Structure 1
Amino acid sequence: MDPSTAERSPLPQAIGVDLGGSAIKLGRFDAAGTLLAEAVCPTPQPAVPGAVTTAIAEAVAAIDPDSRADRVGIGHPGPSDRTCRRARIAINLPGWRDVPLADWLEPLLQRQVTLANDANCAVIGELWQGAARGSADVLLLTLGTGVGGAVLLGGRLFTGHGGAAAEPGLIGIQPEGPPCNSGNRGSLESYCSIGGLGRLSGLDPRELCRRADGGDAEALAVWQAYGRLLGIGLSSLLYVLTPELVLLGGGLSGASHHFLPAVWEQVEQRVLAVSREGLRIERCALGNGAGRLGAARLAFERLAPLRLG
Structure 2
Amino acid sequence: MDQPGELIGIDVGGTGLKVGRFNYAGELLAELNQPTPTPASPQSVCESLIKIVERIDPENKASAVGVGIPGPIDRSGRIARLCINLPGWENVPLADWLEQKLQRPVVLGNDGNCAVYGEHWKGAGEGLQDLVLLTLGTGVGGGVIIAGKLFLGCNGAAVEPGLIGIDPYGPACNSGNNGSLESFCSISALTTSAGCSPLELSQRAAAGDQVALAAWRSYGLLLGCGVSSLIYCFTPQRFLLGGGISAAFPYFAPALRAEVEKRVLAPSRQGLEIMAAALGNGAGRLGAARLALEQLGGSLQG
TM-score by length of 1: 0.95
Matches within 5 A, 1:139-158: 139-158=132-151
Contact 2:66/2:292, CA 8 A, preserved across alignment: yes
Gaps of 5+ in 1: 1-9
Q: 1:198, CA displacement in angstroms? A: 2.3
Partner letter of residue 175 of structure 1? P
- Show the counterpart of 1:132: 125
Equivalent residue, structure 1, for 2:193: 200
The aligned counterpart of 1:272 is 265
Cα distance change, pair 244–290 in 1 and its aligned pair in 2 (3 A): same
1:57 aligns with 50
Question: Out of 159, 167, 188, which is 1:166 matched to?
Answer: 159
SS in 2 for 1:139: strand
> Which residue does the alignment assign to 1:74?
67
Query: Contact 2:184 / 2:190 at 8 angstroms: preserved in 1?
Result: yes
Number of residues of Structure 1 aligned to a counterpart in Structure 2: 300
In the alignment, structure 1 residue 43 sits paired with structure 2 residue 32:
no
Matches within 5 A, 1:288-307: 288-303=281-296, 304-305=298-299
Residue 87 in structure 1 maps to residue 80 in structure 2: yes
Using the alignment, how far apart are the partners of 2:25 and 2:170 within structure 1? Answer: 46
Structure 1 residue 200, shift from structure 2 partner: 2.2
Q: Which string of whole-angstrom CA distances, capped at 9 and with x for unpartnered residues, describes residues 116-148 of structure 1?
A: 001111111111111001111111000011100
- Residue 110 (1) aligns with residue 103 (2): yes
* 1:277-307 C-alpha deviation (Å, 9 max, x unpaired): 0010111101111111111111111113469
Instruction: Detail structure 1 runs of 4+ shifted over 6 Å in the superposition.
Output: none
How far apart in 2 are the matches of 1:306 and 1:224?
A: 48
Q: Give the partner amino acid of 1:247.
A: L
SS in 1 for 2:62: coil
Query: Taking every aligned residue pair, what percent have the same amino acid on both sides?
Result: 59
| Corresponding residue of 1:7 | none
Please state how far the C-alpha of 1:240 moved relative to its aligned partner: 1.0
Match of 2:178 in 1: 185
Q: State the Cα RMSD in Å.
A: 1.4
Match of 1:99 among 92, 106, 112: 92
SS at match of 1:70: strand
* Deviations 1:34-60 (CA, angstroms, capped at 9, x unpaired): 211111122110000011111101111
Equivalents in 2 of 1:272, 1:90: separation in Å?
35
1:151 partner letter: V
Instruction: Give the Å deviation of 1:96.
Output: 0.6
Mapped partners of 1:267, 1:289: distance in 2: 27
Which amino acid letter does the alignment assign opposite residue 94 of structure 2?
A: L
CA distance in 1, matches of 2:150, 2:63: 24
Match of 1:218 in 2: 211
Counterpart amino acid of 1:95?
G
Do structure 1's residue 20 and structure 2's residue 13 form an aligned pair? Answer: yes
What letter matches 1:153 in structure 2? I
What are structure 2's unaligned runs of at least 5 residues?
Answer: none
- Work out the CA distance in 2 between the residues paired with 1:19 and 1:198: 22
Q: TM-score, normalised by structure 2?
A: 0.97
Alignment partners' CA distance in 2, 1:233 and 1:64 = 40
1:30 — aligned with what? 23
In 2: Cα distance, 1:54 partner to 1:194 partner: 27
Amino acid in the other structure paired with 1:116: G
Deviations 1:162-184 (A, max 9, x none): 11111010000000000000000
C-alpha displacement of 1:204: 1.4
